[in-house]
């Protein structure tokens, strides 16, 4: 299981892994039992993205069992480890808990600054290193918080016709 908070790059990692290993990616919420045999035949590795306790647990359980029978690798990405998911299928619960878990932790300051710089760049918004340092020191240490702040600053910059500066950042996150 690949565990991490929203916006930490789980989906990006799965996509990169799929390209390198010829894997198939399926969204857990889109998984249908009748498609599972085709998935298992299609690739040596299946990557299940966005698994939650609200997904069709019977479909994920069927996929797990069929993948195991056919020696097909399986990676399940989720915001929470299996021990924190409320699963109604006890067999699926025990199988997911038995999987090795790799967790993406909160970003360090340097990584958070790089992530925010890229998000600003993607929005074609120019920011100085001083603005990034100011933001990193004042926001929650999460990829999702970084995304929300960049979005809010972009919106404020556009609506006020101002550059993204420390005073604008202070106004938006204040």
Q: How many residues does the chain have?
A: 174
Give the pLDDT confidence score for residue 6 in this predicted structure. 86
**Which of 87, 103, 119 is the C-terminal boundary of a domain?**
103
Give the pLDDT confidence score for residue 55 in this predicted structure. 92
**Which of 56, 77, 103 is the C-terminal boundary of a domain?**
103
Q: Are 93 and 132 members of one domain?
A: no
State how many domains the chain has.
Answer: 2
Give the pLDDT confidence score for residue 28 in this predicted structure. 96
At 120, which CATH number? 1.10.8
> Per residue in 128-137, pLDDT tens?
999 999 999 9
For the chain, what percent of residues have pLDDT higher than 90? Answer: 93
Q: Are 15 and 62 members of one domain?
A: yes
> Per residue in 10-21, pLDDT tens?
999 999 999 999
**Which of 52, 80, 103 is the C-terminal boundary of a domain?**
103
Global pTM value: 0.80
Q: Where in the sequence is the domain holding 117, given as residue range(s)?
A: 109-173
> Which residues on adjacent β-strands are paired with residue 25?
47
At 21, which CATH number? 3.40.50.300
Q: Are 84 and 13 members of one domain?
A: yes
| Torsion over CA: 33, 38, 44, 50 (sign) | negative
Coil/strand/helix, residue 10: helix
Average pLDDT over every residue of 66-77: 96
Give the pLDDT confidence score for residue 9 in this predicted structure. 87
Q: Are 44 and 77 members of one domain?
A: yes
Question: How many beta carbons lie within 10 A of that of residue 31, not counting itself?
Answer: 21
Q: Are 86 and 118 members of one domain?
A: no
Q: Are 125 and 157 members of one domain?
A: yes
Give the pLDDT confidence score for residue 48 in this predicted structure. 97
Q: Are 96 and 116 members of one domain?
A: no
């Amino acid at each position: 299981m690949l565990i991490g908070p929203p916006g930490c790059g789980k989906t990006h990692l799965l996509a990169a892994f799929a390209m390198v290993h010829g894997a198939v990616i399926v969204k857990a919420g889109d998984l249908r039992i009748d498609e599972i045999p085709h998935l298992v035949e299609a690739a040596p590795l299946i990557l299940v993205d966005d698994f939650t306790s609200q997904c069709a647990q019977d479909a994920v359980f069927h996929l797990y069992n069929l993948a195991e029978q056919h020696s097909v690798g399986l990676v399940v990405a989720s915001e929470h480890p299996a021990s924190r998911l409320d699963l109604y299928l006890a067999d699926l619960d025990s199988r997911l808990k038995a999987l090795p878990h790799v967790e993406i932790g909160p970003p360090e300051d340097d990584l958070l600054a790089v992530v925010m710089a890229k998000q600003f760049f993607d929005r074609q918004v120019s920011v100085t290193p001083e603005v990034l340092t100011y933001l990193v020191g004042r926001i929650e240490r999460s990829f999702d918080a970084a995304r929300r702040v960049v979005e809010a600053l972009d919106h404020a910059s556009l609506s006020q016709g101002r550059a993204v500066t420390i005073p604008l950042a202070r106004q938006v996150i204040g």
